[in-house]
Amino acid sequence: MRITVIGTGYVGAVHAACMAETGHEVLGVDIDADRIASLNAAKAPMHEPGLDDLLTRTVGSGRLRFTTSLTEAAAFAQLHFICVGTPQRPDSPAADLRHVDAVVEALAPVLRPGSLVVGKSTVPVGTAARLAARLRKTAPQAEIAWNPEFLREGSAVRDTLWPERLVVGVTSERAEEALREVYAPMLRVGVPFFCTDPSTAELVKAAANSFLATKISFINAMAEICDASGADVTTLAEAIGEDSRIGRSFLQPGLGFGGSCFPKDIRAFAARAEELGVGDAVTFLHQVDGINIRQRRRSVDLARALVGGSFAGRTVGVLGAAFKPESDDVRDSPALAVAAAIQAEGAEVRVHDPAAIDNARTAFPDLKYSLVIPEACEDADLVMHLTPWQDYAEIDPAVLAGVVRIPLLVDARNTLDVHAWQRAGWRVRALGRPRLG
Ligand code: NAD
């Protein structure tokens, strides 16, 4: 099939490359000319494992190319995926739909008759219906469907080629058939395919992210109780996670979630529920958000207490800037929020990250950065582990102890082998584990 992918960021670049990998002829579109040039040169504009290889193969084969022209895209295909950003509005918790609206507005007059426009962006329930009404004015033969995206940064290529499920919200059999054809390679190997109406499809995404965020904040609430009662949250998480009704995943206690999805998606969902007159049904999402943000403050409070009540004149080595490992994305990164808060209280903060330094420097130009772990931790009074990259699990704590001024560690992600660090002479503290030190 011929398809276009409009918006080539973390979702769109991967979607375009994976669609070409499965045999489709794909044209990617973006308003960012630098990004298009990079993609046409088969160079991923972001750190995403496997994407460079995929681009080399698919761009090289001629099945994938990129353009800045939406008019060219409209002429190229009758099936268009929208993957543009839907950030939080600057002035409210609701979703900012201006990019999605702009794409539909620009496409409407140039679409070929019978085109299908498929949204992948995360949007408030009711968006597809509103856009369909808009399309009816100038492109009455075109249709809108919604096909929410569930990929995770860091494993986006795998998640797209081998998704756990596909969800499509359509209003005609023709649209369902087209999407079944797009995803035929996945359907052949038994990927569950949920075909429903657009509102349900939009809500599946909001509900999934809300549930996952709730699980994270639940375990972080338990960490606070553990801190107050002398219990250990890591054992608690493992023990409740063994219950198959609960499950182990997303019960990692620590600094909480960030990134470009969970925080803004739960806020947008609560705001949309409010608009629909059912805000009371999801008031818990405000608490999920509050508990999450509180972990950043708790980490700073813990660190301050450890260095004697004030950061003034202290040096802090920070391990991690990305919002999660295997990504260079620093949007709403908990690690950088903590690093910046500590620096604002007078510490010299040096941040290490294996992939996100460039983006971090753009977002927080006043922090100091290093690409080398020992350099970031040199003469540090405290080391803070804030993003759980595998690189940090592989640190030899005995070697790092020889570099810092004081071997004092906050494992804000609860993923390091803290007993190995203790054996190497480190004093270790972590949220929800008061007995550690
Ligand atoms: P992003 O900011 O990385 O990429 C968006 C891209 O759209 C940018 O390259 C931007 O230049 C481009 N764009 C903006 N306006 C455009 C226009 N008018 N025409 C063409 N291109 C335009 O965003 P993302 O992280 O890829 O997320 C995209 C959507 O997918 C969002 O709704 C997000 O919530 C959702 N989503 C993201 C993830 C994730 O892990 N990042 C996962 C699932 C769903």
Pocket-testing residue among 29, 35, 51, 83, ligand 1, by greatest number of atoms within 8 A of Cβ: 83
Give the count of beta carbons closer than 10 Å to the beta carbon of residue 180. 15
Active-site annotation, residues: 261
CATH topology of domain 206-289: N-(1-d-carboxylethyl)-l-norvaline Dehydrogenase; domain 2 (1.10.1040)
| Cα 5 to ligand 1 centre (Å) | 11
Q: In whole angstroms, what is the distance from residue 215 CA to residue 396 CA?
A: 32
Is 202 close to ligand 1, i.e. is its CB under 6 Å away?
no
Residue 217 and residue 425 in contact, taking contact as beta carbons nearer than 8 Å: no
Percent of the chain with pLDDT over 90: 98
Fold that domain 2-196 belongs to in CATH: Rossmann fold (3.40.50)
Domain boundaries, given as residue ranges, for the chain: 2-196, 206-289, 294-436
Instruction: Evaluate if residue 396 carries a pLDDT over 90.
Output: yes
For residue 48, the SS3 value is: coil
pTM above 0.90, yes or no: yes
Residue 8 Cβ < 6 Å to ligand 1: yes
Which CATH code of 1.25.40.10, 3.40.50.300, 3.40.50.720, 3.40.50.450 fits the domain covering 294-436? 3.40.50.720
Residue 437 pLDDT grade (very low, low, confident, very high; cuts 50, 70, 90): low
**The pair of three-digit structure tokens given for residue 364, joined into one six-digit string:** 């927080």
Mean pLDDT of the chain: 97
d(C-alpha 6, C-alpha 126), whole Å: 21
Rounded average pLDDT over 241-269: 97
Asked if residue 33 has its Cβ within 6 Å of ligand 1, the reply is no
Kindly provide the ipTM of the predicted complex, given to two decimals.
0.99
Q: Is the shortest distance between the CB of 94 and ligand 1 below 6 Å?
A: no
Token pair in block for residue 259: 């990134």
Instruction: Give the model confidence (pLDDT) of 213-233 as tens digits.
Output: 999 999 999 999 999 999 999
CA separation for the pair 96, 10 (Å, rounded): 18
Cβ 234 under 6 angstroms from ligand 1: no
If one counts every other C-beta atom within 10 angstroms of the C-beta of residue 152, the result is: 14
Rounded to an integer, the average pLDDT of 156-183 is 98
| Ligand 1 centroid to residue 144 C-alpha, Å | 18
Q: Do domains 206-289 and 294-436 have the same CATH topology?
A: no
With H, G, I as helix, E, B as strand and everything else as coil, classify residue 26: strand
Q: How far apart are the first and last CA of the chain?
A: 60
